[in-house]
Amino acid sequence: MPSLVLKIDVDTYRGTLIGVPRLVELLLRHRANATFLFSLGPDHTGRAIKRVFRPGFMKKVSRTSVLSHYCFKTLMYGTLLPGPDIGRCCAGILRSVREAGFETGIHCWDHIRWQDGVRHADARWTQREFELAAKRYTEIFAERASVHGAAGWQMNPQALRLTQRLGFSHSSDCRGKHPFMPVWNAEIVNCPQLPTTLPTLDELIGVDGLDENNVHERLLALTRDAPANGHVFTLHAELEGMKLLPAFEKLLLGWQEQGYQLSTLRELAAGLDPDQLPRHEILWGSVPGRSGELLLQGEEFLSEISS
């Protein structure tokens, strides 16, 4: 049976408080598994206002109606309103996800700070942000995290090294086609990458006549034929856990009809031999429907020794 991993990014306080429990209930009802990746520090969503200067950002905002997904109060956090500490305020909700049988891991400490700042950050900044999230995760779950999935698919060389140094067994920090071992500027990082392989709902809605009522049909067409290692689909507690919950439920039912086992990043990683994974370069690039650049799986890396 082919697998399709559900990777759930939780970006905000409201997404944690409302979207996460709704997704847990839906997944349990349909006997589907998933990986939840949490933002563990302050919610500073309002500071994303700086992105208005990013090429393509306003076009995406107009397509996806940001205010309808992120309430006005959330859009003020970190500017006119103090940002609530997600990990501290919602620790019980986070623990309940693991108690329900789902894999949990780290998304980031401060979502906006990481997504907008990590690409050009130095090693000290990166390590501080990473370790704040890792420490908070351990405080909440009484164990270290084993999986990391970067906010906005944004990383830098030091952040990739930390996935190895801090002992993560697998990560999902980029977009790509299949699992691989990452290489950054000829440096191999010993932590398998399980990239997101499918477009997200917010990248598709508003394009080519797609809306929340029919977007599931486009995705189901893309998954009709299963690749050898299945797929990884990224969704968000703020979107699929709220306004897009009906669209997500249609996807769940459609994928089960296609014969997929809806699973976790951990289950995907468990079926891989890290020593046999191909090595691929990590590079910056864009994907349709999303503003700015993010990390992509590049060409296979063939060193002089292996060639």
The domain limits of the chain are 3-173+193-276
Are 266 and 49 in contact, with CB atoms under 8 Å apart?
no
Predicted confidence at residue 247, as pLDDT, reads 98
Q: What are phi and psi of 107, to 5 degrees?
A: -95, -50
DSSP 8-state code for residue 119: G
Q: Label residue 81 by pLDDT band (50, 70, 90).
A: low
Predicted confidence at residue 46, as pLDDT, reads 76
Rounded distance between C-alpha atoms, residue 287 and residue 290, angstroms:
6
Task: Report whether pLDDT(103) > 80.
Answer: yes
Q: Strands 35-39 and 103-108, how do they pair?
A: parallel
What's the mean pLDDT in 149-157?
98
Q: Which residues pair with 188 in a beta bridge?
A: 183
3-173+193-276 CATH: 3.20.20.370
What's the mean pLDDT in 138-162?
98
Smallest Cα–Cα separation from 148: which of 128, 165, 173, 118?
173
Predicted confidence at residue 296, as pLDDT, reads 98
Q: What are phi and psi of 302, to 5 degrees?
A: -120, 105
Q: Is 248 helix (H, G, I), strand (E, B) or coil?
A: helix
Predicted confidence at residue 76, as pLDDT, reads 60
Query: Can you give the pTM of this predicted structure?
Result: 0.91
Q: What are phi and psi of 61, to 5 degrees?
A: -60, -45
Predicted confidence at residue 77, as pLDDT, reads 60
Tens digit of each residue's pLDDT (9 = 90 or more) over 266-279: 999 999 999 999 99
Are 95 and 132 in contact, with CB atoms under 8 Å apart?
no
Q: Tell me which H or E stretch contains 282.
A: strand 279-285
DSSP-assigned states of every residue in 2-18:
-EEEEEEEE-SHHIIII
Tens digit of each residue's pLDDT (9 = 90 or more) over 109-126: 999 999 999 999 999 999
Task: Report whether pLDDT(53) > 50.
Answer: no
Alpha helix positions (H), 174-289 = 201-204, 215-222, 245-257, 265-270
User: What average pLDDT does the chain have?
Assistant: 91
Rounded distance between C-alpha atoms, residue 168 and residue 100, angstroms:
22
Task: Report whether pLDDT(307) > 50.
Answer: no
Which percentage of the chain shows pLDDT scores above 70? 87
Predicted confidence at residue 49, as pLDDT, reads 52
